[in-house]
């Protein structure tokens, strides 16, 4: 069974991760050996300006529906993996749905979104579409997806598994992965890397702020980005005096 | 000849349809046996927040242009199907243009949009692109399309037919179909289904409002969405006391 | 109404067109002002080695099916445009079907193919797919299409018009256009251009044969392709002595 | 858990299914209520002329690889789901691999193919690509896939599950589904439908053979396809005298 | 060597070009014989309402990276074509980057954007993506591209040439071409055409303003767009009295 | 300037490379650190059964044509980069053409192919299409491309550079790279890796032949592929006794 290594991720650590930007996290993970962490095409469709999403992944997987099975699936209100996934959301979790990129059936509407929020979930990420962006934006929970379709799940899909390894926008997502999202996009962080990201990210962001000042002063790239030896010294002083 | 069944759709009925949301209409049509009513990729590019578009379809069809024929087409100002389509728009109609998804030639600019509006048209829907979104947004008429291209029709297209059956974003549209659009998307309604949508939609929306209240109170999905027997009773009372 | 200019195309002329290759026809039409005559993606899926297809276009158009209309369409055996199109095929005609590129429903199987052949049709061209390539290849009639799908028309499509202007692989096709196809592909010839193609093609092919001989002798491109003044003289002599 | 209904499918029944063509099976399943059974884009890349593949599905699922996990996966020779899947193949089974349509890593080469064959497997179906078509064609086992890529699995993928519900070319495949493939394509048959297909298919094929004779005699479609009352009688007699 | 004809384009002329809209420029260039000047899919991702970008193209070309070469490329801070391109930007230039449409690596972040701005560059155009749209939007320099990816260049690309002919969204761009961009899109202007565009554009825009007034008065298209003889006279008077 | 490291590649070494299969070369290059060497979508359209292509890359680059420049380009017979590229082909070279994946204009016909062959070229590789596959197949020179289009270059393209770094099917190709192609596909080999490939490939192929024998004997994958310790010994003996 493919699964994540154990990693103790406190709520404080998750909170600290919010201060790292998505591009900084993606670039840092590359240096650490993870090349494929930024899903392509899964856009911040319901994310407010300045809003940051952080949480642990709970996954859900859909495949194209088969008529006889989807009927059985709808005989009981409880017996459907997608509803089980939502009703098992824990505080601090993000519902990560692999709908195979399907554009022809909305897998989440404002009701499901409200329920995830009510259970303490911190976001929803879909390789697929929602049913109503207008309604979902009113809820306030961050949602990343490919767009919207007016029809519900059973037009094309059926849910088949909860908390399995899945893919989102070409990126692997395992249960327990940490997701970080903001209006620039989304990055999937292996849990053992969160600590490094938080430590490195603060330093990196300070350095970029310093570089911005130097570029504004007219410094060329090879002096300021990254700082050359001379500016590196200046940066160390600047950092202390902030 | 493939055509719509007769259906008497009063202006009042059309007005009432505006109160039904696009996702509700799409889902209701599925229950009624219509699986394919929500065009994919035809986005509300010039639709204002809260704006709702309703109208009867007048269709127009383009194919890739042929050089000798497009020259003939431009010899006279009147003798072009696309101009005929616009000049025959009746109040309450929507101009529905099948341009085969072409991204390389804008089929409507702010002039055509203004003329549709002046004739009482209530919207324009294009499986293709417009020429200038900025100018069209100023007009105020709702326009759904795939985007914009600076060049005009004759770069790639010629118009060949008015009020034929066409397709838009993979959905069939017949003359006389009713289109409903809002910032969540677009749905094509067979005329005989409008009455049912209006009746069902009001009830459905009330029920969803009730469900939202219950989700906010912490009810799980299998109790509140849809309401179970217990909540159904409570809903009936709530509905009467509003 | 967009239609072809009158052009008298005798059966002898059509027969002579078979001697012109598809690339030569495409290139010659470009010089004559027709840039867009070679459909992309409409492959010779059932064309035998050395087989050449020539004929006049009879067109048929499909759009995505609507459930209530497709049922009505199937109430009578005769009342369906696609069957009307086949049963009206004249000797020397090619059935040209615009199925909007649909890959999810075969619009022609070996039965329809046999009937087109029995009526004297000389080929079938589809912007879409057939049901069974193996069976169709046995018939022997040339068929150009995008591939195969096991399901029939009514899985996704309904026929809506016969002998209208349509598009095939991004190229306009009008009733009466002349189609020329071989294992290299397909070209759509405006009827008034057939005569020029036949006259020019014979000359062009002779010249290319001469160029091949010269390239085999080691001549560089700027001498042999096309022949420079010196080789042009030699070519004129060679041509007479064949 | 989504799974197939129980169905007793004898080896004789499977053998009989080989006589039903893929288009007949697809069309019959549609009448029985199964609209989505023919995967699109999963082509008979290593299927010999006249070869028919029938078997029970054993599934395997890949997602994009993650660097730290794929290393762990390769530490042991046995501990990889894709090798487990192959080494658990039973006689009469088809290995059905959902590689998410990945074109950048071959998931099966001629070694894996030979091992599936050695264990009595009757075919391989991949929503993805193989490593070497030339080598695989020599083995003789039918393989359906999207093409070939020279690199192996770990360039882009890791295996995560055996005998889960998966999708292939947009079609759901459950463990125990029956797959039927020939040079016309591939169809996924719910196990409870095999018996009906076999019974119906023989009749259907006879009728089509009769129709072919009548079309050769010049009968129009509305008389011969399907046979009208008059020809239906003639067909019944013809059938008995064969 | 393919290069632009000499054309003297004063800063005043460039400034005047800002008054011509992108659709007007595209349509005018078509009349002048340039069919392909509006890149498709290169959207105004960081362009403020009302902002207009004009400048001379300095080009940069990327191809997919090769591991051994990209390492060499990063050994020195200066020795990389993409940094050379930025550090050689002259006032009034636009950095035009052909990244082959790559969606998997951001080629420009807010640092590079700030440096282009600091050197007097007037915009950045990318057939590819940036790293952080939020940060880039704060800079204020207009940027046209396909979207954003969190990773930097070396995830997939390496720079190979400065000021070569390139393509952007299917449109050729040569060093010295003039680019005009606004929230409606982007047009590439051969330098020798700028003067004509400026002269023609003012006239054209006035005429369109007059047409808008007439459409608001209820004039049909064939009278007002373009103005017929009668309205043409009225227009000439109206123009003088403004 | 990005360029290949020096590498002395004798004709004997190139000849020896022909004995390495494309999948073996791709996989070996991955182990050596080169992940992206197998172009996707560039198929062996004119490669005979058993034919192997090996040679040094001479590159040629096209971009979309601009009308005024392409006219100038055609004023002289010699002054066009694509003809210069062909006329400078040396024995043992492969013409590698980056046409940006364009499907709408054939960049090579049977004349250009014959000239490349006459100059001693060993193949042509195109990220784009040819004009006539039937004619080219008769020549006998291996050609890899995306398909065919009847029109010539100037319908959509113009040549802009010879022997620059380019991309083919998403893979970087530099002048002097070694290309290896067979009916399984194509691999681009950095020149410094050829020697290792040849040495490793012979060993690898022998081992695979041994594994095939063992699989035929019923050995499981974890014993035979790759050989475990026990079989490794047996292999060493087997190898010597061949």
Complete DSSP assignment for chain D: ---PPP----HHHHHHHTTS-HHHHHHHHHHTT----S-SS-EEEE--TT--EEEEEEEEEEEE--HHHHHHHTTSSS--HHHHHHHTPPTTEEEEEEEEEEEEEES--HHHHHHHHHTT--EEEEEEEBS-HHHHHHH---EEES-B-SS-GGGTEEEEEES--EEETTEEE-TT-EEEEETTEEEEE-GGGHHHHHHHHHHHHHHHHHHHHHHHTT--HHHHTTB-HHHHHHHHHHHHT-
Neighbours of C78 (CB within 10 A): 10
Tell me, what's the pLDDT at D241? 87
SS3 C186: strand
**What's the pLDDT at B72?**
72
Beta-carbon contacts of A29 under 8 Å, excluding residues fewer than 6 positions away, are A37, A187, A189, A190, A193, A197
- With contact defined as 3+ CB pairs under 8 Å, the chains touching A are B, D, E
F79 close to E (CB below 8 A): no
What mean pLDDT is predicted for residues F181-193?
A: 96
Q: Which residue of F has its CA nearest to D45?
A: F184
> Scanning the structure block, which residue is given the tokens 């290059």?
F29
**What's residue B17's pLDDT?**
97
pLDDT tens per residue across span F100-135: 999 999 999 999 999 999 999 999 999 999 999 999
CA distance B227 to B236: 11
F207 to chain D, any CB pair closer than 8 A? The answer is no
As a whole number, mean pLDDT of residues F139-148 equals: 98
Fold of F12-189: Glucose Oxidase; domain 1 (3.50.30)
Question: In the predicted model, is pLDDT for residue F167 greater than 90?
Answer: yes
Whether C150 sits inside 8 A of D220 (CB atoms) is no
Of B139-153, B220-234, F66-80, F185-199, minimum mean pLDDT range = F66-80
Q: Three-state SS for C109?
A: coil
Whether the pLDDT of residue F139 is over 70: the answer is yes
Closest chain C residue to the Cα of D225, Cα to Cα? C111
Give yes or no for a cis peptide into B113 (omega within 30° of 0): no
Q: What's the pLDDT tens digit per position in B37-78?
A: 999 999 999 999 999 999 999 999 999 999 999 877 766 655
Q: Which two tokens stand for residue F68?
A: 């005024």
- Higher-pLDDT residue of A4 and C71 is A4
Q: Pairing state of beta strands B178-182 and B53-64?
A: antiparallel
pLDDT at A72: 72
C5/B170 Cβ within 8 A: no
Indicate the pLDDT class of residue C171, thresholds 50, 70 and 90.
Answer: very high
Contacts of E111 in chain A (CB under 8 A): 208, 211-212, 215, 221, 225
- Supply the pLDDT for residue C75: 64
Chain D adjacent subunits, 3+ CB pairs under 8 A? A, C, F
Query: What's the fold here for domain A38-189?
Result: Glucose Oxidase; domain 1 (3.50.30)
pLDDT above 90: percentage of residues in chain F: 90
Cβ of E2 within 8 Å of Cβ of F68? The answer is no
Asked if B209 reaches chain A (Cβ–Cβ under 8 Å), the answer is no
pLDDT confidence band for C7 (50 / 70 / 90): confident
Sign for the pseudo-dihedral over CA of B140, B142, B145, B151 = negative
Tell me what the mean pLDDT of segment E28-56 comes to: 97
Asked if residue E75 has pLDDT above 70, the reply is: no
Residues near D152 by Cβ (< 8 Å), separated by ≥ 6?
D105, D106, D109, D131, F27, F30
Q: Report, as ranges of residue numbers, the positions in chain D whose pLDDT lies below 70.
A: 1, 73-79
Largest Cα span, chain E:
71
Domain ranges of chain D: 11-189, 197-240
Q: Do D221 and C115 touch (CB under 8 A)?
A: yes
Please list, in sequence order, all residues whose beta carbon lies within 8 angstroms of the beta carbon of residue F81, skipping any fewer than 6 positions away: E2, F60, F61, F159, F160, F161, F162
Q: Is it the case that residue A110 has pLDDT exceeding 60?
A: yes
User: Residue F117 has which token pair?
Assistant: 């062959």
Nearest CB to A221: which of E87, E134, E135? E87
- Chosen for mutation from A209, A210, A221 (greatest number of chain E CBs closer than 10 Å) is A221
Residue A197 has pLDDT above 80, yes or no: yes
What lies within 8 Å, CB to CB, of C240 at 6+ separation is none
Q: What pLDDT sits at residue D76?
A: 61
Tokens matching residue B224: 């509140």
Angle at B135 between CA B43 and CA B181, to 5 degrees: 30
pLDDT computed for residue B242 by the predictor: 80
pLDDT at C76 (0 to 100): 61
What value does the mean pLDDT take over residues F186-206?
A: 94
pLDDT tens digits, residue range E174-186?
999 999 999 999 9
Residues of F in contact with D87 (CB under 8 A): 220-222
Q: Is B215 on the interface with C (CB under 8 A)?
A: no
pLDDT mean over F176-201? 96
Q: With touching defined as 3+ CB pairs under 8 A, do chains C and A touch? A: no
Can you tell me the distance from the alpha carbon of B80 to that of B62, in angstroms, rounded to the nearest whole number?
11
Dmax (CA) of chain B: 71
Residues in F touching D112 (Cβ below 8 Å): 221
Beta bridge partners of D180: D54, D187
Q: Tell me the average pLDDT across C113-124.
A: 98
CA distance C87 to C120: 11
Mean pLDDT score of chain F: 94
CATH of domain C19-189: 3.50.30.40
pLDDT at E70 over 90: no
- B121-147: per-residue pLDDT in tens? 999 999 999 999 999 999 999 999 999
DSSP letters, E5-28, are PP----HHHHHHHTTS-HHHHHHH
Average confidence (pLDDT) over F186-204: 95
Q: Among A63-67, B129-133, E30-34, E71-75, where is mean pLDDT lowest?
A: E71-75
> By three-state DSSP, how is residue E105 classified?
strand
F109: left (phi over 0), alpha (psi -120 to 50) or beta: beta
Mean pLDDT of chain C, nearest integer: 94
Contact criterion met (CB below 8 Å) for A86 and A112 = yes
The whole-chain average pLDDT of chain A stands at: 94
Separation of alpha carbons B111 and C121, rounded Å: 46
Strand E123-129 and strand E93-106: the pairing is parallel
| B21-190 belongs to CATH 3.50.30.40 | yes
* E146: chain B residues, CB-CB within 8 Å: none
Assigned CATH class of D11-189: alpha beta
Mean pLDDT along residues A78-105: 94
Give the number of residues written for chain C.
242
Asked if F2 lies within 8 A of E158 by C-beta distance, the reply is yes
Per-residue model confidence (pLDDT) at position F2 = 83
| Set of chain F residues whose Cβ sits within 8 Å of the Cβ of D135 | 21, 23, 184
**Taking 90 as the threshold, does the pLDDT of residue E6 lie above it?**
no
């Amino acid at each position: 069974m493919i699964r994540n290594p154990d990693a103790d991720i406190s709520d404080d650590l998750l909170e600290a991760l919010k201060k790292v930007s998505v591009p900084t996290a993606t670039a840092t993970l590359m240096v650490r050996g993870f090349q494929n962490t930024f899903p392509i095409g899964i856009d911040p469709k319901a994310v407010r300006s300045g809003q940051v999403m952080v949480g642990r992944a709970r996954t859900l997987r859909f495949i194209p529906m088969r008529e006889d099975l989807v009927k059985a699936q709808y005989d009981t209100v409880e017996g459907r993996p997608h509803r089980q996934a939502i009703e098992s959301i824990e505080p601090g979790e993000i519902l990560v749905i692999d709908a195979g990129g399907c554009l022809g059936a909305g897998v989440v509407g404002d009701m499901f979104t409200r329920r995830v929020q009510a259970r303490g979930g911190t976001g929803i990420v879909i390789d697929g579409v929602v049913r109503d962006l207008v309604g979902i934006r009113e809820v306030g929970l961050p949602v990343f997806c490919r767009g919207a379709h007016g029809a519900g799940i059973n037009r094309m899909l059926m849910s088949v598994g909860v908390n399995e390894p899945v893919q989102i926008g070409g990126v692997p997502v395992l249960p327990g992965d940490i997701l970080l999202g903001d209006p620039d996009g989304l990055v999937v962080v292996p849990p053992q890397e969160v600590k490094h990201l938080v430590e490195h990210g603060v330093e990196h962001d300070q350095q970029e702020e310093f570089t911005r000042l130097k570029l504004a002063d007219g410094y060329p790239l090879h002096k300021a980005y990254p700082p050359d030896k001379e500016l590196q010294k200046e940066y160390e002083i600047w950092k202390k005096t902030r």
